[in-house]
Structure 1
Amino acid sequence: MADASSSSIPYDTVASTLGVWIVSFFLATILYGMGFLQVWLYFHWYPNDGWKLNLLVLTIFVLETVQVTTFFAATYDVLIKHFGDWTAVLAITWLHSAQLLAGYLSAFVVQMYFACTIFLLNGPGIQRWIFTVPIVLSALTELAMTLGQTIAITYIASFTQIDKTTWIYSLLSACTFACDVLIAFALYITLMGKRTAIQEIAGLQYFPSRSNTIIRKLTIYAINRGVLTAIAAAINLILFLAMPNTFYYFIGLLTSSKLYMNSMLAALNSRQYIAQASEDEAARCWNSIPVHVLHSEPHRSRGATIATNVTNTNSSVYQDETSSRDSKLGFSADNI
């Protein structure tokens, strides 16, 4: 970054600071708007959810509102109140500390939500601890580094000295990345295990169970969620280390918490869609029965047996087995 006393600031310096600042704020605002819409849809579609999930959604919404509001205030302060004052651009105020803290607190809450989900999905046994303990430890380390970074940037008071916090910020971003990867991996293994268990219970050759369809869709969503947030954390760390004395790392920093917000709300709001899609797929299965299963009397008996198994599976396995398990993914708010 150019020295604050410079009479003429090069264009490249402005582009790599204020330019990236505006672009990052633009992207963060779009993602916040998407999250705001999802919050409204959540309370509109699921008014009967328990108070725990309602409180979780409100907490995330408040933290993200604080984050985007304080960063907007910092932007207004730099571009309007102190227009042309390069010292103000490089100054770290309480607004920067507040938005950083709010954003990472929001990410921490979402990470703990998914850790709780993984813990509940895995029944009593060692596997639930193998999956959840590393996630919780990395999330707690991330929270500790967040507090340390917030305090550190308050004392240095200028972006020209941000390199003094490199080790804290690097560890913070690395823990965020590791936590996201662990969550995605744990969800994938857990859900695929449930899928295999349901297949063994159902024992169906031509009629995949409704629960199996739901779990397959949830697995895809879980992987996508982890990939997005992990990429944002990786971009944040890489740009911070590879392009010092610039604000390029703002791109990953400001969008990261919004991706967490949207990923959690998307998981909650997609419950009805996943359930309906699984019902449609189950209905289509009846139209795909091979002709040879009805070719002879023994085969007709077999087809009737399969149909009976389907009915029993969809009514008992789905309600008794998957409803309780899928509810812990957010299908029933009272269980989280």
Structure 2
Amino acid sequence: MAPLLYGITLGQVTKYFQTFKDDRLALKLMVIGAFLLDTFQQCLITHSMWFYLVARCNGNPEGFGFANWSYLGQILPSEVVFYMVQFFYITRIWILSKRKIAWLLFVPATMEIVFSTVYTWQFYAHPSFTDLDETAEEHQVLRGLLIAIVTCAIVTDMGIAISMSKLLHDASKHSLSRSRSLINTIIRYSIATGSLITVVMIIFLSCVLALPGTMVFVGLYFIMGKLYVNSMLAMLNGREALRVQLGSIQTI
């Protein structure tokens, strides 16, 4: 699934730079940064899967019980992508709300990246998949950090979706019918993308809580960063369709 989503990312990035050549430099740099981080993570995922599934830990059976360097390394770029995309949406809310709501969303988003950094550091110190039983202190610390990361992400994503929808709904009350239809389209998109990411996060958290000591959640984690990147790119590329709907070349 991760390579498939990465392929979609490639298509979306290509479309973005072909269509929106006049976008601000800061926005282009953010897209490039998110794409490079996603590419870096995909390379690390590919190496990790090769190491475990093809190379069979280079013939060392004990290697299956430990996280290799590429598995550990893919955590941080993925978390940075989460924060970048969330920051992108929060800044939009900052503009629409005149800074009233955005401050509240920055708190869980910032806590998420802090917990992620600590989690990566702790996992580097204790990279075992099998040696840590559920009562071990190291296991409890890692599990607690993982739960904190996902909880912060869920709170942030739900806050973004709800805030964006409310702000746009309030704006539609004072708009013409043509603009109101466009705003309703944006609201539906905000709810759809926010709900999808939130549902995946909730499933991920459920796996962590219901299946302790297993690595079932890893498959979901590999795709979450790509869902974030594609969410942002889809919104940026969707401006072209919205422009057509408006019948003008105004930028949203």
Scaled by the length of structure 1, the TM-score of the pair is 0.69
For the residue of structure 1 that corresponds to 2:74, the secondary structure is helix
Q: Which residue of 1 aligns with 2:121?
A: 151
CA distance in 2, matches of 1:224, 1:84: 45
For the residue of structure 1 that corresponds to 2:174, the secondary structure is helix
Q: Which residue of 2 aligns with 1:168?
A: 145
CA distance in 2, matches of 1:90, 1:148: 22
Listed one character per residue, the Cα deviations across residues 47-98 of structure 1 (whole Å, up to 9, x for unaligned) are 1111111101001001101111011111112223325644222211321221
Q: Which residue of 2 aligns with 1:263?
A: 231
Please show how residues 1-336 of structure 1 align to structure 2 within 5 Å. Answer: 27-81=1-55, 82=57, 85-123=60-98, 128-129=99-100, 131-160=101-130, 161=132, 163-164=139-140, 165-198=142-175, 202=176, 208-209=177-178, 211-279=179-247, 327=251, 331=252
CA distance in 2, matches of 1:86, 1:226: 41
- Contact 1:142 1:176 (8 Å CA) reproduced: yes
- Contact 1:180 1:226 (8 Å CA) reproduced: yes
Listed one character per residue, the Cα deviations across residues 250-288 of structure 1 (whole Å, up to 9, x for unaligned) are 132111111100000000001111221344xxxxxxxxx
- Contact 1:236 1:252 (8 Å CA) reproduced: yes
CA distance in 1, matches of 2:104, 2:193: 18
Deviates further, 102-111 or 228-237: 228-237
Listed one character per residue, the Cα deviations across residues 121-162 of structure 1 (whole Å, up to 9, x for unaligned) are 123xxxx32x21221100000000100110010000211237
Paired residues in the alignment total 244
CA distance in 2, matches of 1:236, 1:134: 24
CA distance in 1, matches of 2:32, 2:91: 18
CA distance in 1, matches of 2:139, 2:5: 29
Percent identical among aligned pairs is: 25
Gaps of 5+ in 2: 133-137
- Contact 1:93 1:154 (8 Å CA) reproduced: no
Q: Which residue of 2 aligns with 1:284?
A: none
For the residue of structure 2 that corresponds to 1:253, the secondary structure is helix
The structural deviation recorded for 1:42 is 0.3
The structural deviation recorded for 1:224 is 0.9
Deviates further, 183-192 or 68-77: 68-77
* Residues 240, 84 of structure 1: alpha-carbon distance in 2 compared, 3 angstrom cutoff: farther
The residue type equivalent to 2:39 in the other structure is T
- Contact 1:232 1:255 (8 Å CA) reproduced: no
The residue type equivalent to 1:92 in the other structure is A
- Contact 2:45 2:222 (8 Å CA) reproduced: no
CA distance in 2, matches of 1:233, 1:87: 31
CA distance in 2, matches of 1:107, 1:32: 15
The residue type equivalent to 1:112 in the other structure is F
Larger Rg: 1
- Contact 1:213 1:278 (8 Å CA) reproduced: no
- What RMSD over aligned residues (CA atoms) do the two structures have, in Å? 1.7
CA distance in 1, matches of 2:64, 2:11: 32
The structural deviation recorded for 1:179 is 0.6
The residue type equivalent to 2:197 in the other structure is T
Q: Which residue of 1 aligns with 2:135?
A: none
The residue type equivalent to 1:173 in the other structure is V
CA distance in 2, matches of 1:235, 1:86: 31
